[in-house]
Structures are given as structure tokens and as C-alpha cells.
Amino acid sequence: MLLTLFLAVLLALTLVGYFLGQKRALGAVRGDQAKRSFTTNNFGLAALPVFYGQRLAYLVFLPPFLLLLLWWLVEPRLASFLIDWNLPEAVRQASRGEQVGIINAIREAAAGRAALPSTDLKAAVDALSALSWFSSVGLYLLLSGLIVLLFALGLASSKPGFKARHAVETWNRWVMFGAASVAILITVGIVLSLLFQALSFFQAYSWFDFLTGTRWSPGGAFQRGYGEEATGGVFGVVPLMTGTLLIVVIAMSVAVPVGLLSAIYLGEYASNRVRVFAKPLMEILAGIPTVVYGLFAALTFTPWVASFVDGLSAVLNWPVLRPIALFVANVFVALGNGFIWLGNLFSASSPTYFAWVETIVLETGSDIALAAGVVMGTMIIPFVASLSDDAIQAVPNSLREGAIGMGSTRAEMMIRVVLPAALPGIAGGILLAVSRAIGETMIVVMAAGSFAYLTLNPFGSVSTFTVQINSLLTGDLDFGGTKVQAAFAIGIFLFLITLVLNTLALAIVRRFREEYD
């Protein structure tokens, strides 16, 4: 309530300052006509009157507003800190559940909604009520004083010789610099918040087991409760890595050929009439939200793939193909066993071995990695197409003309001359697309599995980093719990992977551009 009033008064005073500053500057010269000179300006001021107004408005508005914002951001932290500081030793020894209850009681008592729970909590309650008095009354008194001071200062200095435009432009530059620095602030915020939570996670869970563990099982909802969480889950990211890898590989094997070939066709072959249809096609594909792709993948495309896989099963069981299929399947089983064995070198989790395949039955469940991957690939097609198009267009025409002049066909020119020249740009684009596929969330949340099987079977169900972040964070946000912290640990993993891929891709693209520009 007081906040709204204060903000209204602040805005009104700013407006008053804007007009008063102009008036004051003009008044100062009108009273003294002798000071008018031809060289300064019509009024004998060092700047247009409007700048005097702007400067006073800045002076009145910005410092109190920034202080208020700062206080608003700091206050909740300060409150928890004050409670922590004043907690009696006995409470500090208590379990987390009890502590939360006591802290809530203190907050209630300080707000006057409940009686003092016990006398040894008096210090905390007093500190908290002092803080809330300050942030509801004291702060505004202080800021009001500051405003009056600034107003007086500003009016006093609004003299004709004062270079108001310089002052305003300096303020402007700082505000603009502040706006530009928001980008740094956001990055710092991301890194700090991820690090903070991830570090608490790695205090409870070994980073070595996290990186090399072959079992991911964060524990069901029934395990959520204070104290039990630390022992509740097993967090090994290897199955998530293989799952993400599988889906990304499927997605890229759809997106790269389709995107690249469409870009080549649209750039080099297509008539204008085709282009009129094809350009919007790509733009629509790029503009559809991922949640829409996700719904399509889960409800429509997965059943299609399932029936396709059933058909494939039948084909593989034809007498001619059967022995070949069995051989290939068992090679995969052997590889899979070897993979698990390798995993066990680093981790103590119990070994699971696949049995040899005797009949060819391609099983599918409700989630199929192939379906999620193909739909994700479709989503990335326009991304790959536009980046490859940029790379292909950047190849100088002299190379094309040279190739055609030597008598090559159009396809030979593309395959042997233009594509090799554009390859670094295309590779950079593909890296960017991979990074996007790794970070993509909604398609896999809706169409890939939630259980992290360690498999590379495209017809099977796998889980990815993003799916697990989603399932760990949905529901109650208990930032002290291991499960939420585990989500941040994956988050920092994801952030680093995409950061490296992007930096690499941008470096490749930039170097390639320099070659021809």
C-alpha cells in the first residue's frame, strides 16, 4: 500500500521536477535581461530549457528508485539471514523439518498474526519485526528525506551557466550502459545460480559417481521428505548421455540431409514459383512452438512409428532375412554387453547383461526414441536449411562460374566445388543445430521416456537431460532438496555442453567468413 503511494508520489515529483527545472532555469535568466547574449542562446542559458527539466527529473527519480529496487531485492535474503543469525543453538541442531516449522512460526509472530512461540525465540522475532518496520515505514521516511534533499540540490544548481545537456547525456549514457550490462548480469545470474545449487548437490553426491554412474533413478515421490532425500536417489548420468545422444543422432540424421538438400535446391535450382511455396513452408516449420511438435510426436507420430516397427518386424522374420537379422541383432547385443562392462569399470552399480537374441521381435513401448528424434529433426530442418543457405550463398560466384566454365554439370559444381568451399560454414551450422537439439525440451518431455534406460536401441524408450530436469523440478520446489539440486547439476552440464558447441560453431563460421570477405 505504502509502496504504491510512494511510487505514485515519486512519479508525480519527477514530473514536477521536469517542469520546475525548466521554469527555474528560465526564471533565472528572465530576471536578469542583461545576461542575455547573442552567443549562447535565446535565453542566455547554457542548454535548452528542456534539459534542465530532464536533469532535475533524473536527479529526483533515479537514486530513490534504484535504492528502492535494491532494497526490494535484498530484503527477503536479509530476513532469512536475520532469522538464521538469531536462532538459538537448540533449534539449529533440530532436523530440517522442525526448523522450517519454527521459522514459519517466527515469521507469523513477527507479522503480528500469532503469539510469541517461546521466549528464546524473542531475539529473532524482534529482529524480524524491526526489519519489517523499516521496510514498511522507515525506508520510505529515509527515501522521502533523500528526495527532498535531491530536489533542493537540483533546484539550487539549475543556474543559467550550468551545462544541463551534458549532465543529462551523461545520465543517459549510464542508463544505456546499465541496459547493455543486463546481458552480463543474466549470464552471471545463470552461472551463479547453477553453480550454487550444483555445488550443494556435489557435497551430497560424488561428482565421479554422477559422471560415470550407469543408473539414473532419482527416487519416486514417496521418497520426498526431509532427511530421506540424501539417500533416496541414484544419480548417474551415463544413461541420460546415451539417451540424449541417441535422440540427437536420429534428429540430425533427419535434419541435416533434408535441411541441406532443401537449401541447395532452393538456392540453386528452384524456380521462383517453387520458392514462393517453399520459403513459407520453412518459416512455418520454424515458427511452430515446440510444445506443438511435442504433442504431435506423442499422440500422432509415435503410433505411426509403432505400426511401422511392427511391419519391420514382420519383414525381418522372412526366411531369407532372418539369419542376417539375427546376426546383426546379436552383434548389437555383444556391443551392448561390452558397453555395460565398460561402464562397470568406473562404477560400482550392479551389472545387467542382455541375453542373446533368438527371435526377431522389435518391441516398442509407449515411448519410442525414433519418433521423438524424427519429430525433433523436423523441427530443426529450417534451422539447418537457413544456416547452410547462408554458408552456400557466402561462396563467391567466381568459384561457381569457374566450375561451370570448366564444363562441369550443375550437380558436379555443387558437390565438388561449392559444398567443399561452404563446408566449414555448414559444419558450424550443424554444430549449432546439435546444441539446439540437446537443449530442446518439450518434444522429449512429451514423447520420450521418463525412465532412463541405458540403451542405444532407436525403437526403445530413452530419457534425456532435459526430460529429467523437467521431472525433477515439476511439483514442489524444495531448493534445499537433493532432487532439485540434481536438476541444477544437469543444468550446468547442459549449459557447458551448449556453450562449448556454440563457441566452437561461431569460431568456425567466423573463420570461414574471413576467408572470402
Shortest Cβ 256–other proteins spacing (Å): 10
Contact pick of 106, 139, 487, 509 for other proteins (by CB under 8 A): 487
Task: Examine residue 11 and tell whether it contacts other proteins (CB under 8 A).
Answer: no
Q: Which of residues 66-125 bind other proteins (CB under 8 A)?
A: 72-73, 76-77
Contact pick of 85, 207, 327, 479 for other proteins (by CB under 8 A): 479
Shortest Cβ 485–other proteins spacing (Å): 10
**Of 200 and 461, which CB lies nearer to other proteins in the complex structure?**
200
DSSP state of 434: H
Q: Which residues lie across from 216 on neighbouring strands?
A: 235
Which residue blocks in 31-138 are alpha helix, DSSP H? 49-86, 89-93, 96-110, 122-133
* H, E, C per residue of 441-472: CHHHHHHCCCCCCCCCCCCCCCCCHHHHHHHH
How far is it, in rounded angstroms, from Cα 486 to Cα 93? Answer: 25
Q: Which x/- pattern over 17-56 shows residues binding other proteins (rule: CB under 8 A)?
A: ----------------------------------------
Q: Which residues lie across from 217 on neighbouring strands?
A: 234
CB 344 within 8 A of CB 351: yes
Residue 95's CB is within 10 A of a number of other CB atoms, namely 10
Phi-psi region of 61 (alpha: psi -120 to 50; beta: other; left: phi over 0): alpha
**Of 340 and 473, which CB lies nearer to other proteins in the complex structure?**
473
**Of 143 and 487, which CB lies nearer to other proteins in the complex structure?**
487
Q: Which of residues 381-410 bind other proteins (CB under 8 A)?
A: 381, 409-410
Shortest Cβ 436–other proteins spacing (Å): 8
Task: Examine residue 187 and tell whether it contacts other proteins (CB under 8 A).
Answer: yes
**Of 241 and 360, which CB lies nearer to other proteins in the complex structure?**
241
Collapsing DSSP states into helix, strand and coil, what is residue 44? coil
Contact pick of 441, 456, 504, 513 for other proteins (by CB under 8 A): 441
Q: Which of residues 136-175 bind other proteins (CB under 8 A)?
A: 165, 169, 172-173, 175
Task: Examine residue 504 and tell whether it contacts other proteins (CB under 8 A).
Answer: no
Contacting residues for 262 by C-beta, under 8 A, at least 6 apart: 278, 282, 381, 385
Contact pick of 1, 115, 156, 183 for other proteins (by CB under 8 A): 183
Shortest Cβ 242–other proteins spacing (Å): 19
Task: Examine residue 411 and tell whether it contacts other proteins (CB under 8 A).
Answer: yes
How far is it, in rounded angstroms, from Cα 385 to Cα 264? Answer: 8
Shortest Cβ 406–other proteins spacing (Å): 13
Cell of 22: 525548466
Shortest Cβ 351–other proteins spacing (Å): 33
Task: Examine residue 416 and tell whether it contacts other proteins (CB under 8 A).
Answer: no
Contact pick of 293, 453, 459, 512 for other proteins (by CB under 8 A): 293
Shortest Cβ 295–other proteins spacing (Å): 6
Q: Which of residues 341-380 bind other proteins (CB under 8 A)?
A: 378
Task: Examine residue 287 and tell whether it contacts other proteins (CB under 8 A).
Answer: yes
DSSP letters, 233-298, are: -EE--HHHHHHHHHHHHHHHHHHHHHHHHHHHIIIII--HHHHHHHHHHHHHHHHS-HHHHHHHII
Q: Which of 482, 468, 472 shows the shortest CA–CA distance to 225? A: 482
Contacting range for other proteins; rule: CB under 8 A; set: 24-32, 96-104, 294-302, 391-399: 294-302
**Of 149 and 176, which CB lies nearer to other proteins in the complex structure?**
176
Contact pick of 238, 491, 508, 509 for other proteins (by CB under 8 A): 491
How far is it, in rounded angstroms, from Cα 173 to Cα 181? Answer: 12
Shortest Cβ 209–other proteins spacing (Å): 22
**Of 79 and 421, which CB lies nearer to other proteins in the complex structure?**
79
How far is it, in rounded angstroms, from Cα 432 to Cα 234? Answer: 32
Contacting range for other proteins; rule: CB under 8 A; set: 2-10, 54-62, 256-264, 361-369: 256-264
Residue holding cell 523440478? 473
Q: What is the amino acid identity at position 53?
A: G
How far is it, in rounded angstroms, from Cα 208 to Cα 86? Answer: 38
- Tell me the torsion sign for CA atoms 177, 182, 188, 193: positive
